[in-house]
């Protein structure tokens, strides 16, 4: 699977600050003269948003395999309707979550066989991988506290501490095997400090 230079993803546990950093990096790149599109998974399209609601509504109890397939249904629509067309127009695409989240949440945390996830990945996005991924790493309990303060509640917020710990370990395991692509960022610091490190990495790699 090829890495696409104008495609950047942000990953991390709940409350790590991904949406904030996606917005800040987008604004920074625009200031440098780039065309930028920011998006989110699951979602990013009309169909994807409907699937997102199904996945995140607390009352929806679903089998892990159902959950996995819904994520890839959203991704299939997302890449074909939004991501591919933008990249072809020389637009930088920054997404809040992509396939690494699926591996961490549905693979490492839910316990689904990783070979199933990789097989779906080859079907849905056989030629698309972020050039650069920022993994915002944070203590699990602190991440959940942040979300409670923001009054964020969804199906994943209701999972156990052990579940979120497995997610974090999954992300770190993925990052350890792809250090060239995945840059682990200490998200316990201030928003400004995290943003400075991210923009510094971008400057170094792109210039």
Q: What is the pLDDT of residues 2-57, one digit of tens each?
A: 567 799 999 999 889 999 999 999 999 999 999 999 999 999 999 999 999 999 88
**Type and span of the H or E element at 23:** helix 18-31
pLDDT of residue 34: 94
On whether the CB atoms of residues 203 and 132 are closer than 8 A, the answer is no
Distance of CA 141 to the CA centre of its chain: 19
Record the tokens describing residue 54, joined without a space. Answer: 């199904």
Confidence of residue 151 (pLDDT cuts 50, 70, 90): low
> How big is the chain, counted in residues?
207
- Region label for 17, one of left (φ > 0), alpha (ψ between -120 and 50) or beta (otherwise): left
pLDDT of residue 127: 87
Q: Which domain covers residue 166, as residue numbers? A: 3-206
Q: Give the number of domains in the chain.
A: 1
Confidence of residue 144 (pLDDT cuts 50, 70, 90): confident
pLDDT of residue 150: 61
* CATH number of domain containing 52: 3.40.50.300
pLDDT at residue 153 greater than cutoff 90: no
In the block, residue with structure tokens 């495609």? 7
Enter the pTM of the model: 0.93
Confidence of residue 183 (pLDDT cuts 50, 70, 90): very high
pLDDT of residue 152: 66
**Type and span of the H or E element at 150:** none
């Amino acid at each position: 699977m090829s890495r696409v230079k104008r495609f950047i993803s942000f990953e991390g546990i709940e409350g790590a600050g991904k949406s904030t950093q996606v917005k800040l990096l987008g604004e920074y790149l625009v200031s440098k003269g780039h065309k930028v599109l920011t998006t989110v998974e699951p979602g990013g399209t009309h169909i994807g948003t409907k699937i997102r609601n199904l996945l995140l509504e607390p009352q929806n109890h679903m089998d892990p395999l159902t959950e996995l397939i819904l994520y890839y249904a959203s991704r299939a629509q997302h890449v074909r309707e939004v991501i591919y067309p933008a990249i072809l127009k020389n637009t930088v695409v920054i997404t809040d979550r992509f396939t690494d989240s699926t591996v961490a949440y549905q693979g490492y945390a839910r316990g689904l066989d990783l070979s199933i996830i990789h097989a779906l990945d080859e079907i849905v996005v056989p030629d698309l991988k972020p050039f650069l991924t920022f993994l915002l790493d944070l203590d699990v309990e602190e991440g959940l506290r942040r979300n409670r303060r923001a009054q964020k509640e969804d199906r994943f917020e209701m999972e156990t501490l052990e579940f979120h710990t497995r997610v974090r370990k999954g992300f770190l395991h993925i990052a350890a095997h792809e250090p060239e692509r995945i840059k682990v960022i200490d998200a316990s610091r201030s928003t400004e400090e995290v943003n400075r490190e991210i923009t510094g990495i971008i400057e170094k790699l792109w210039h």
